[in-house]
Structure 1
Amino acid sequence: MDRLRRMIDLTLGSLCCGLVLILVAVLVWQVFSRYALNAPSSVTEEILRYGVIWMSLLGAAYATGRGGHMSVDMLRDRLSPRGRLLLDALVALAFLAFAGIVLIWGGMKGVTIAASQTSAVMRIPMSWVYLALPVSGAVMILYAVLNLADLARGRSRHADAQTQAELMGE
């Protein structure tokens, strides 16, 4: 399981870093062509818009796997180590439900609806843009399953070292 997680982390992290580099290069070109050449590029706005959509959704999936999603620790800090594990399991199950229902099921509906549409400037199928929803949902589900497997072994992506030691009986 750890090997699979590392492989997904490396792939998704590299993809997100690559997207950021591409988006920065496109943004620099957009600014340069607009102000230095006085001839703004027509495709850069769409590339940036669609790139940010993919980047945001893949980044959210990556954060899910790393346990870096937003959380309110007030309740968690008041729970026993076992209570923290149960809360972490509940969070993982909530991610499973959200990713399955909203991102995959709803996202596929969006992909289907957008299949007949093309973008205004680049003329690419809009279904490619909407595909970011089910793809990120599938990665979130995979991460949630890995997180649940870790919890079943008494390990949490969110637990600090003290909690891990308490759970292991040290």
Structure 2
Amino acid sequence: MSDIADRARGWSKRVNWLVERVCVALLALLVIDVWLGVVVRYAIPLPITFTEELARYLMIWMALLAVSSGIAHREHIGVGFVLERLPAPVRRWLAVGFDVIGFVFFAALFWYGLGFTERGFSRLTMIYAIPKGYAFAGVPLAAFVACLQLALMGVHDWFAERAPEALASRTIDPGGE
């Protein structure tokens, strides 16, 4: 059974590796964009107007995608002080229960995010005049990745040899990632 848990954790690490790199790339673009906005506003008066809108969309995409990284590291919101005081079988059920509740939430966010994104293609951004659906696509994409991570972590929690001791990664996986 622990082989299933190890495989689920391995896939979770792979997905998280990719998501973290995407988030770092988005952060780098965000820093460059904000820096450019400050420079053209206060140092070099150029008519560059896109920086504020681009920064908003980059920050939203980055924050939404980072949620799945928090799930992979088990740093998402949970009732840790209660979980730590319960017997192992109850901790396992509670951890899987949190995974299921999170999965249902993110699945609903994914489903409604698809409609949100579809409607966004009929609206244009102020500065770029491109459909807002491209910016809104971050919602269902991030919800899908969060569902994937929750499913993988739920499988890990259920099939792991030991019940989780807490919801934070430092106690579930003391070896690092």
Fold agreement, TM-score > 0.5? yes
Distance 1:161 1:83, change over 3 A: farther
Higher relative contact order (CA 8 A, sep 6+): 2
Q: Shift in Å at residue 162 of structure 1?
A: 7.4
Which sections of structure 2, spanning at least 5 residues, go unmatched?
1-6
Q: State the Cα deviation string for residues 62-107 of structure 1 (Å, max 9, x = none).
A: 2112211123322212211222211111110011100111x21110
Q: How far apart, in 1, do the equivalents of 2:39 and 2:77 lie?
A: 36
- 1:73 matched to 2:77? The reply is no
In structure 2, the residue matched to 1:13 is 20
Kept in 2: contact 1:61–1:140 (CA 8 A): yes
TM-score relative to the length of structure 1: 0.87
Contact 1:99 1:140 in 2 (8 A): yes
Q: Distance in 1 between matches of 2:142 and 2:25?
A: 16
**Contact 1:92-1:147 within 8 A present in 2 as well:** yes
Unmatched 5+ stretches in structure 1? 165-170
Letter in 2 for 1:138: F
1:136 aligned partner, one-letter code? A
Provide the secondary structure at the position in 1 that maps to 2:84.
Answer: helix
**Deviation (angstroms), 1:16:** 0.4
Matches within 5 A, 1:108-123: 108-123=114-129
Distance 2:20 2:134 in 1: 21
Corresponding pairs, count: 163
Partner of 2:154: 148
| Distance verdict in 2 for CA 1:54–1:74, change over 3 Å | same
| 1:158 partnered with 2:167 | yes
TM-score (structure 2 length as normaliser) = 0.83
CA RMSD of aligned residues (A): 2.1
Distance 1:51 1:160, change over 3 A: closer
Q: How does 1:1-170 map to 2 (within 5 A)?
A: 1=7, 2-39=9-46, 41-101=48-108, 103-154=109-160, 156=164, 158=167
Q: Deviations over 1:109-151 (max 9, x none)?
A: 1012111111110122111111111101111111111111111
The 1:93/1:152 distance shift into structure 2, 3 A limit, reads same
Contact 2:23–2:65 at 8 Å: present in 1 too?
yes
Distance 1:161 1:22 in 2: 30
